[in-house]
Structure 1
Amino acid sequence: MTLPAAPASLLAADGQPLFGRYAGQVGNIDWTQLAKPFARSALWRRFHHKRWHYVALCTEQVFCAVAIVDLGWISTAFAYAFDRGEGDMLANFSQDGLPLISAKLANHAGESSSFKARNCHIAVDAQGDGSYQLTLRCDFLEIDASFGPGASPLLLATGPIDKGSVHATQKSSAMPLRGEVRTWREEYKLDGGVASFDYSNGLLARNTDWRWASAHNLELGFNLQAGYFGGHENALWLDGELYPLAAAHFLYDKKDALSPWHIFTEDDMLDLVFTPDGARRDNKKMVVAASRYLQPIGSFTGWVRSAPDQPKRMVTQLMGVTEDHSSRW
């Protein structure tokens, strides 16, 4: 079963959200026009509106991730570069910013996002044709990259949030990548690699947690989540087609997150073992908020398929990430 085409807007004429999974890009995401029971006051939205733009870059030599996050009352950004051959974190940057000033988040995945703070500038610039430019200048890390357009459609997923209101996310599969990464130790060419992104925009609960997995090449890719958004965004890209997946289960040792993870879906369409090579960790405790963040970097091996009665497609050493995240925000 493939997915229907994305609507032009996430809201119907009566203000009700169009919940579901779709293929393609939606237009401007504006939660101010929500109708009851999902409508919230401007003050509530101010503190519960969360948006982020995450980009992953992957070659045989290096894996990089860059994120710009707007939490409403504060903004933040992070970036890292991981040497796959050495299993070594070459750069790991994180910076908080001022609300309404430091981060400029896109209103949908086809727009540009940016972050500016001391000694740091990050820009994800949409080119209007499904391609993007990523520019990053931070301590010990510089990136100049261009990626896209991809051959596979974007995933659009939208649904209700318990103790929140609504959420929407757009995920890409692999897009052709070009450019360069420069660290304090070495420079890496990105040409011939792949990029993918996650753009998310929602009115979330005060306490939010999730487990996530994502990996892509030009033939196949997947996005899996368990937690605050249920199975709404679970999807498989295979040979240019996009297929919905059922609820995902993440089995791993929380006391040793760098041990193997077993990840599978309830529809018998995906069964993978993830072997971490390293991880980015970031735990924060503030007066009114806290965050526990773990993103292991490694490879997936196992199988996927487009339907329970279809042949299995083997997955071997597919580079990607998992994530275990819990926030009070």
Structure 2
Amino acid sequence: MSESSEETRITREGPLHRLDGALAARGWATQPLLHYDRARIKASRWRIKEWDYYLVGDDSYAVALTLSDLGYAGLVSASLVDFEQGAYKTTSVVTPLPLGRFKLPASSKEGVSAFENDRVSFRFEAADGVRALSARFARFDGDDDLTFEAVLDDEPRDSMVIVTPWAEDPKAFYYNQKIVGMQARGSFKKGLVVHGFAPNGSFGLLDWGRGVWTRDNTWFWAVAQGWQDGKGGVEPGSHRFGLNLGYGFGDTSSASENMVFVDGVAHKLHRVDFGVPERGGSRDARKVVDRFDLLKPWHVRDDQNRLDLVFTPLLDRVDAMDFALIRTDQHQVFGRFDGTVVLDDGSPFKVAGLPGSAEVVHNVY
């Protein structure tokens, strides 16, 4: 696997933090080698952020579930995306002051993440390489309830793991794992709509994060998963292909989170630019859509001439909230990727019609 001299690969297990609260290491890995311990964090409980985000989808639908403890607020959210109709629905419940009471697991490999009240019930259970997901959301879309069950398994050997500090705040850090390309099977029901996710054509991903953030951040994240033959075709049973690309916040001098995955094996990339079309307005525009024309094609490239993709948008899933303590402007654009990536052995891998998403998010929290 190639490595840049500017980036640090973490290869040894150990604690995420030293006893004095400083990060024990910073860099990237393909497994979560560092052990998260909330008790070692020296920042206020108000600032600790912990979340599990799952997305399960096929060519017709995707279901996304978020369970997050942001310290002073908890966010429980579900999204249903209908690719055939070019439509989506997102519904969220915000709870005050969880301050760690969600008790989200310290490990992404095992444990139960759960929340329940009189409207919503989420349960994510990980054990022995299998992830069982269940959700119930009353009045998800008008009078229609949403129910969802899925099992994710056949987890790839490699995943994207990153440990990132913030230069301006020694207490701030971001510990993140993204697992792309798990096999998925399950179903959802919303009102009269029932849809099943079959293993050969359905995939699941996990975005698992723990950290302390500075208050105002903008990030870019792209993720995609599906069958590719590497020659420009999409035959099932050829290669299970995934990508994870991102940048935008924190001190990333030790590592980027840019990887592609072929049959579960990671190929590390360096720095990327999403090439989001700009409207020509101010880079300090308050709203993401005032700066970017998100539904035009994006040209995604890296700085080592290994990545050259065009992302063609299908729909922009918008989720915006503006409260006293929390302001978020999220644009998760779903579409397809086409182009080429050069793997670690120097061979080109062609990408054709790969379904995924690319997002621009501005959070103040």
Same fold (TM over 0.5): yes
How big is the alpha-carbon RMSD for the aligned residues of Structure 1 and Structure 2? 2.3
Residue 7 in structure 1 maps to residue 43 in structure 2 = no
1:310 aligns with 2:346: yes
Identity %: 24
Shift of 1:81: 1.4
Alignment-derived partner of residue 27 in structure 2: 20
What secondary structure is seen at the aligned counterpart in 2 of 1:47?
A: helix
Question: Distance between the aligned counterparts of 1:31 and 1:105, measured in 2?
Answer: 10
Match of 1:85, SS? coil
Number of matched pairs:
318
- Separation (CA, whole Å) in 2 of partners of 1:117 and 1:295: 27
**Aligned position for 2:146:** 141
Q: How far did 1:31 drift?
A: 5.0
Q: Which has the larger radius of gyration?
A: 2
Alignment deviations for residues 90-115 of structure 1 (CA, whole Å, 9 cap, x no partner)? x3221112322874422221232123
Distance 1:137 1:260, change over 3 A: same
The equivalent of 2:298 in structure 1 is: 261
Contact 2:19-2:40 within 8 A present in 1 as well: no
Find the counterpart in structure 1 of residue 233 from structure 2. Answer: none
State the SS of the aligned residue for 2:44. Answer: helix
Letter matched to residue 293 of structure 1? Q
The letter for the 2-side match of 1:220 is F
- SS, match of residue 25 in structure 1: coil
**Contact 1:251–1:262 under 8 Å retained in 2:** yes
Alpha-carbon distance in structure 2 between the residues aligned to 1:8 and 1:222: 27
Q: What stretches of structure 1 of length at least 5 have no aligned partner?
A: 35-39
Q: Is the contact between residue 6 and residue 24 of structure 1 (CA under 8 Å) also seen in structure 2?
A: no
Residue pair 2:223, 2:357 contacting (<8 A) in 1 also: yes
SS in 2 for 1:172: strand
1:6, 1:26 within 8 Å by CA — same for their partners in 2?
A: yes
Residue number in structure 1 paired with 2:220: 211
Once the two structures are superposed, the pairs formed by residues 193-212 of structure 1 within 5 Å of their partners are: 193-212=202-221
Task: Determine which of 289, 298, 309 is the counterpart of 1:272.
Answer: 309
The 10-residue stretch of structure 1 (292-301 or 151-160) with the greater mean CA deviation from structure 2: 151-160
**Aligned residue in 2 for 1:292:** 329
Work out the CA distance in 1 between the residues paired with 2:211 and 2:72: 14
Deviates more, 1:100-109 or 1:152-161: 100-109
TM superposition shift of 1:249: 0.6
Take 1:163 and 1:46, find their aligned partners in 2: how far apart are those partners?
19
Q: Is the 8 A contact 2:131 2:151 kept in 1?
A: yes
Q: Given the superposition, is the C-alpha separation of residues 256 and 233 from structure 1 closer, same or farther in structure 2, using an over 3 Å criterion?
A: same
Aligned-residue offset at 1:25: 3.1
> Would the alpha carbon gap of residues 228 and 301 (structure 1) be closer, same or farther in structure 2, given more than 3 Å must change?
same
Q: TM-score, normalised by structure 1?
A: 0.89
Aligned residue in 1 for 2:195 = 188
**Change in 2 beyond 3 A, CA 1:270/1:148:** same
